[in-house]
Chain A
């Protein structure tokens, strides 16, 4: 397997990539750089930053609103920097980094739900039309057109916003990203049993939310 053939920006692919291979760019590998940072060469964090910033951006962009990505990535790298002494090199650095990013996103949503700051925008006529066009046997290519893609994403956000932070993360990682239960549990720091217990009810909730869309077909909320 060569890096050039693997799309490293999808979390699932990156995760698999991380399992067996140390991801290196440039002269030093991650562990050497981290040792150097820990011994006082804090400037070397820039190498880590440049190596993984796009990767972190891509993880965060899948969970948080677009306008939040830069701020969230900033916080993630601060967390990473502060947690460097606890990095044990038992798993590749990239995977350790992705865990911090995923858990940041989970914390973000938990805080938002706690403060009741989750946007609960209503659906419009455009969204109802989108539902109608999905149901009218259009080809997959049809929905990937720019204007319909935007509406699809808005409907997806609307549906995810109706879930709890826990359900949201489980749905995103397990169902949308198609990660395994073990991978999901590991990324979120939960037990495998906890993820298994949540998986089915979360999916059921999502389907119920989608069903409510069908009731609005032809009209809007």
Chain B
């Protein structure tokens, strides 16, 4: 081992020993009461699991729009008034016209 390495080892050892001699910092009762005051002032909401209707407004709106779209899709599908039904009807009535329409309005 080089003399330089030995010196570094010695200093490292002394620093490590110093690290282990950490003074204990006592917790003050005032600190505890201040923290509890802060904790109790926080809204209780973060501790609750949200149901759908308690979710923030943006997600509530997105969910409402999504559910509405699903209902409309289901309704058009059941009553044969959706775009699929229209496409099939046009195809059966006038195949060439349907193909032409598809080129213009794909």
Contacts from A to B (Cβ < 8 Å): 9, 37-38, 40, 42-43, 45-46, 49-50, 53-54, 57-58, 61-62, 66, 69-70, 73-74, 77-78, 81-82, 84-85, 131, 134-135, 140, 143-144, 149, 152-153, 155-156, 159, 175-176, 206-207, 210-211, 213-214
Contacts and interface: CB of A to CB of B under 8 A. Distances in A.
Given A144-B17, A159-B15, A214-B4, A42 B22 contact: no
Contacts of A176: 16, 19-20
Contacts of A77: 35, 39
B22 A213 contact: no
B27 interface: yes
Contact of A49 (B35, B42, B44): B35
6 residue pairs, one from A and one from B, having the closest CB atoms = A152-B18, A156-B15, A134-B14, A53-B27, A176-B19, A210-B8
A42 B11 contact: no
Contact of B12 (A61, A85, A207): A207
Contacts of A40: 44, 47
Contacts of B22: 58, 61-62
Contact of A156 (B19, B26, B48): B19
Contacts, number: 113
Given A37-B47, A42-B44, A70-B31, A134 B36 contact: no
A11 to B, nearest CB: 11
B47 A84 contact: yes
B60 interface: no
Contact of B38 (A78, A144, A159): A78
Nearest to A151: B18
Interface in B71-106: none
Given A61-B25, A143-B14, A152-B15, 12 more contacts: A37-B47, A42-B44, A43-B40, A46-B36, A49-B32, A53-B31, A54-B26, A81-B42, A81-B46, A134-B11, A135-B7, A135-B11
Contacts of A149: 18, 21
A219 to B, nearest CB: 16
Contacts of A37: 47
Interface of B: 4, 7-8, 10-12, 14-28, 31-32, 34-36, 38-40, 42, 44, 46-49
A43 B46 CA distance: 15
Contacts of B47: 37-38, 40, 42, 81, 84-85
